[in-house]
């Protein structure tokens, strides 16, 4: 019987609370309704109070609106000749929602480094082509090849007739290099 009376008292007190009138004849035993922090995904509640005996709300809890996302920058990664890269992006530190999606940057070009310079051949020495490699991955991009010596650049030396005062010369030739 005592239990039924308590239930009836709770219902009556709750009804009076809803219309703004308290009919409880007892001293309230206050229970703290703890605050719940709002996040970027859920609303929160302020701290409130109610009576543990009759459930009358003493201080109502108010709704706290959702907060903004906490932005974390996802840094870009440069593409190389060996791997794709990523653009800069961002996500929320609380809920991990992607705020700015990263996109893939295609594999880049080799970074050319000259290993051996090109040397032009002459009629007396061999030459060579340029040799190159990639400074990132080390791949040999071109191999130096030997270029054989060139032909002589022949200049004809005209004959000089001898005179009574000087000796003469026969026709001859020499290389201009």
Token couple for 140:
């040999």
At 17 the three-state DSSP class reads helix
Query: Which H helix or E strand runs over 11?
Result: helix 2-19
Q: Looking at residue 77, what DSSP letter applies?
A: B
Measured CA to CA, the distance from residue 128 to residue 121 in angstroms comes to 7
Task: Extract the tokens encoding 22.
Answer: 């308290």
Looking at the chain, the number of H-run helices and the number of E-run strands are: 1, 17
* CA distances from residue 141 to 59, 73, 91, 130, 137 in whole angstroms, order as listed: 78, 37, 40, 10, 11
Query: Is pTM beyond 0.85 here?
Result: no
Residue 10's φ and ψ, nearest 5 degrees, are -60, -45
Q: What is the pLDDT of residues 36-87, one digit of tens each?
A: 999 999 999 999 999 998 999 999 999 999 999 999 999 999 999 999 999 9
Please state, rounded to an integer, the average pLDDT across all residues of the chain: 87
Q: Which pLDDT does position 24 carry in this prediction? A: 66
State the average pLDDT over residues 14-33.
70
Dist. CA 136–CA 131, nearest whole Å: 16
Please give the pLDDT value at position 22. 55
Structural domain spans, the chain: 2-64, 71-105, 112-175
pLDDT band, residue 118 (cuts 50/70/90): very high
């Amino acid at each position: 019987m005592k239990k039924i009376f308590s239930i009836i008292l709770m219902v009556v007190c709750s009804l009076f609370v809803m219309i703004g009138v308290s009919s409880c004849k007892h001293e309230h035993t206050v229970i703290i309704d703890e605050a719940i922090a709002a996040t970027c995904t859920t609303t929160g509640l302020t701290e409130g109070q109610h009576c543990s005996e009759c459930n009358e709300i003493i201080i109502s809890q108010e709704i706290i609106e959702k907060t903004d996302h906490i932005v974390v920058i996802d840094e870009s990664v440069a593409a190389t000749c060996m791997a794709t890269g990523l653009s800069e992006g961002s996500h929320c530190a609380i809920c991990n929602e992607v705020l700015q999606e990263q996109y893939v940057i295609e594999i880049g070009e080799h970074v050319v480094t000259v290993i051996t310079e090109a040397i032009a051949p002459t009629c007396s020495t061999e030459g060579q082509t340029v040799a190159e490699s990639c400074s990132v991955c080390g791949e040999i991009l071109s191999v130096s090849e030997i270029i054989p010596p060139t032909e002589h650049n022949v200049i004809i030396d005209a004959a000089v007739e001898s005179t009574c005062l000087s000796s003469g010369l026969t026709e001859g030739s020499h290389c201009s290099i």
